[in-house]
Amino acid sequence: MADTAFRKIDIDIYDEDVLLETELYDPDPRDPSQVLSDAKQKQGAVRSSLAKSDIPGALDIALDSAPYGPNVDEAKNLTLQTVVTILNSTKSSDISNVIKALSQDAQDTLMKYIYKGMGMPGWGDVSGSVLLGWHEKLTEIAGTGCIVRAMTDRRSV
């Protein structure tokens, strides 16, 4: 067995011109505290939309300017919680129409949240079977391209 320890050496510390994570995407112009208050406000707006059973409207609000980047973990969790609540309260027969009403931006963001949810089984109200149902419908409509964008985008939610 060859020695593989050299593979664990952090060679970036010897590089003066190292590419930093922050250079890979444009940062969110909002302040972290503002991102959090936006997320809380959106949660309220989503609740009132859900009370009127306006699922597309609720999803639109939740997916608009989603928090990304460092230092906004609380807002990220809050938004995931909001999105999951909407996904769970949608009848499976309505899913396709709801997705079709979304913009391409919102579809891409929704795909990110579906993958995030799948990566946190048992967290909050996350339900694997609901997410899989949405994932199937979303892929049918927005294609594999939507999955590729969820994977490439460094602005992870």
Partner 1 sequence: MSAPEVYSIAKSPISCHSFNADRSQVAVSLNDNDVQIYDRRGKEWQVTETLSEHDKTITSIDWAPNSNRIVTASQDRNAYVWQQSPDPQTGKMVWKPTLVLLRINRAATFVRWSPNEDKFAVASGARAIAVCSFDSENNWWVARLLKKPIRSTVLSVDWHPNNVLLAAGSADMKARVFSAYIKDVDKRPAASVWGEKLPFNTICGEYSSPAGGWVHAVGFSPSGDVLAFAGHDSSITVVYPSGPAVYCIRINTLPYVTLTWTAEDMIVAAGHDCQPIVFSGSEGGWAAVGSLDDTTTGGAKAGTARSGPVGRLNSAAFNTFRNADSRGHNADTAGDTELLTVHQNTITSVRPYEYSSDGSVARVSTSGVDGKLVVWNVSAVSTGGLAGRLGGMRI
Positions that interact with partner 1 (CB under 8 A): 17, 19, 23-26, 96, 100, 104, 108, 139-146, 148-149, 152-155
8 Å CB contact between 112 and 153? yes
Least distance in angstroms from the C-beta of 149 to partner 1: 4
Least distance in angstroms from the C-beta of 6 to partner 1: 19
- Looking at the Cβ atoms of 74 and 153, the one nearer to partner 1 is 153
- Looking at the Cβ atoms of 5 and 19, the one nearer to partner 1 is 19
- How many other C-beta atoms lie within 10 A of the C-beta of residue 84? 23
- Looking at the Cβ atoms of 3 and 23, the one nearer to partner 1 is 23
- Looking at the Cβ atoms of 38 and 108, the one nearer to partner 1 is 108
Q: Name every residue whose Cβ is closer than 8 Å to that of residue 94 and which is 6 or more positions away in sequence.
A: 55
Give the CA dihedral 114, 43, 61, 29, nearest 10 degrees: -90
- Looking at the Cβ atoms of 26 and 125, the one nearer to partner 1 is 26
Least distance in angstroms from the C-beta of 62 to partner 1: 19
Q: Name every residue whose Cβ is closer than 8 Å to that of residue 99 and which is 6 or more positions away in sequence.
A: 107, 110, 134, 137, 138, 141, 142
Least distance in angstroms from the C-beta of 9 to partner 1: 18
Cα–Cα dist 45/39, whole Å: 10
Least distance in angstroms from the C-beta of 51 to partner 1: 27
Tokens coding 20: 């930093």
